[in-house]
Structure 1
């Protein structure tokens, strides 16, 4: 699940010149596995409500409740047009103070609020109820991603004593981003030496993928999650500092995303409802 104000992957936001972020908000829900569904309905500013501890877009909302991040989902899937209702509850192990600048000017920031958390998922469909390990972070930016980056990968891996995360990117100015952090269960944040970037098999849409792994180890996908012409998300197996780990990996090709031919394709998966009576 991702909550957007100024949806970075929205063709409608791009076509509008990215002038009013609030008018291009949504709560994206991706459900994987057999019968998986996708919701990413963009709504206008009149459908958005915000307080210090609540963010609502149309009929769905994200809010804090006694230290638990609660997501109430009421969306329509695309293209199946199924109503997706339910609730996700995320309980952080701790909230970290980490804030990472992704570019030299500070136009893009990453905030890994809770790299480790427990979650419970209760969707009103048969078999879609489970508990497990989760994660909560946020990205903030004042410029389009494709304006400042050409490619990036990100990965989060639970380890025996907490969580490790890697953020690698190629910037338009010719520089690179290399972030490697260890997060303790107490909220502590420690930079670590990153193992080498290792090429993985490309995605079904042939998006290039790289993952940090100990020398001599070949990281591999163990489960697909999301494949798009410019983006891939998957469960990946790797080895970090001698420990075999399994976590979520993403790769984003922003050269592809910048193509004007891609925007009409995205509009099919990201329908827009400019008005909604809340």
Structure 2
């Protein structure tokens, strides 16, 4: 985000008794998500870290389609990924900081039966809106050293199609020296145009790339769970991701 305190960050861990959910609502502490039948409303009422500024506002997600297919990321089925709204229109209205914008978006969910760091060493993910489809590329290494990868296109009717992974393309390491990998058409060199999140174990970036014959802007993330397991990184987390006790 741009503007005063536009880089405010809030990610607070909360105890189980501060979580409530039903068919249309998911509440975590003072923030929550609500499905109104047409859009997903995300109400944000948090405090940034490490400097304690208020972060208040609402995000509204209007899916173009709802994805009904989930995918197992491991052979035992302990980790699953569900691209809920691969293509969506998003409206953001923040009161603190006073910022608003709208544009195209995406909404997915990772869930499972054990912590991510128990199942994986790393992964690289990216999503791009093509002219007619949405492309999602997902690959990584499981904790046992075996690789996984998905290359998918979803059309405007919500149907997924497996496609061949484009060739691998290395990206520059993040500021915290997290390895970043993506896929792009042969003989094209993708570029990192902006890094939104640069953490010791995670980077989220914007890419200028070419996929399936189209020049596109992609959202990309690289996650190093080997780094996340490090005692040094674990000691740093409470300064960036405070843990509420009530």
Normalising by the residue count of structure 1, what TM-score does the alignment of the two structures yield?
0.85
Of the three residues 181, 195, 217, the one matched with 1:210 is 181
Contact 2:55 / 2:97 at 8 angstroms: preserved in 1? no
- 2:205 aligned counterpart, secondary structure: strand
Of the three residues 15, 33, 48, the one matched with 2:2 is 33
- 1:38 aligned counterpart, secondary structure: coil
Matched residues in 2 for 1:199 and 1:186: separation? 33
**1:127 CA drift (Å):** 5.1
Matched residues in 2 for 1:100 and 1:79: separation? 36
Greater mean alpha carbon deviation, residues 153-162 or residues 126-135: 126-135
Contact 2:57 / 2:93 at 8 angstroms: preserved in 1? yes
Of the three residues 40, 54, 57, the one matched with 1:69 is 40
Of the three residues 88, 92, 104, the one matched with 2:63 is 92
User: Which residue matches 1:194?
Assistant: 165
Gaps of 5+ in 2: none
Query: Is residue 2:235 matched to residue 1:235?
Result: no
Of the three residues 130, 135, 141, the one matched with 2:101 is 130
Of the three residues 204, 214, 238, the one matched with 1:267 is 238
Gaps of 5+ in 1: 1-31
User: What is the correspondence of 1:173-184 to structure 2 with a 5 Å cutoff?
Assistant: 173-184=144-155
Matched residues in 1 for 2:2 and 2:155: separation? 30
User: Which residue matches 1:120?
Assistant: 91
User: Which residue matches 2:221?
Assistant: 250
**1:51 CA drift (Å):** 1.3
Contact 2:54 / 2:96 at 8 angstroms: preserved in 1? no
Cα RMSD of the aligned pairs, angstroms, is 1.3
Compared with structure 1, are the counterparts of its residues 120 and 171 closer, same or farther at alpha carbon in structure 2 (3 Å cutoff)? same
Greater mean alpha carbon deviation, residues 104-113 or residues 48-57: 48-57
User: Which residue matches 2:137?
Assistant: 166
- 1:103 aligned counterpart, secondary structure: coil
Matched residues in 2 for 1:239 and 1:245: separation? 6
Matched residues in 2 for 1:231 and 1:115: separation? 22
Moved over 3 A (4+): none
Matched residues in 2 for 1:178 and 1:33: separation? 34
